[in-house]
Amino acid sequence: MTLTDLLVPTYRNMLQALKGMLAKAVSQLGEQRAEALLSARLAPDMFPLATQLRFCAVQAQEIPLRLLGRPLDPIQPVLDEGRNAGANPGTLAEAQARIDEALAFLGSLAPDALDQAPGDALVALDLPMGMTFDLTREQFARDWAIGQFYFHVVTAYAILRKEGVEIGKPDYVPHMFPYLRT
């Protein structure tokens, strides 16, 4: 399996699942109550739902950009929005738009876009707290990209559940139903 085959469908599937969960929140709670969920958190020291959604959209673009060796400038505004979402959560429409932008970006990638660089090329992962990790492209995908992305997806799911949105496993993995044996 190539990196493109692994990452792009994973991001696409889970971003679509998030869109479905947000639609259920609006349907069940109404626009105003659903909008208030953007400030909800699992714990006081965790980022709110607004941040989780933006970080999902960012990572679905950041990881391919890093693997392509491109600058991260295009996603910086979304990253900044996410980091500041505690003070300014924005709107559900804005969060949905960020998810749609990430989906459009993924749709613009060639079928083998992430598989062009040599497998031994290193990806430097610089984190805000001053740590830098040097990983092969495969290590980066396996040990960082997938786990980090799913962390934010699951946290968004958990916040929605905690706040009373009636969602379950089928909402988390709707992409599985085409494979269901009849």
What pLDDT is stored for residue 118 in this prediction? Answer: 65
Q: What are phi and psi of 21, to 5 degrees?
A: -65, -40
pLDDT tens digit sequence for 38-86: 999 999 999 999 999 999 999 999 999 999 989 999 999 999 999 999 8
pTM value surpassing 0.85: yes
Burial class (CB in 10 A: 0-12, 13-18, 19+), 169: exposed
Report all structural domains of the chain as residue ranges with CATH numbers, in order of start.
3-179 (1.20.120.450)
Report residue 175 as tokens. Answer: 């992409």
Percent residues over pLDDT 90 in the chain? 91
Element of type H or E holding 27 = helix 3-29
Q: How far apart are CA 83 and CA 127, in angstroms?
A: 13
Strands 132-136 and 122-126, sheet pairing: antiparallel
Integer angstrom CA distances of residue 161 from 11, 42, 79, 157, 168? 21, 10, 25, 6, 8
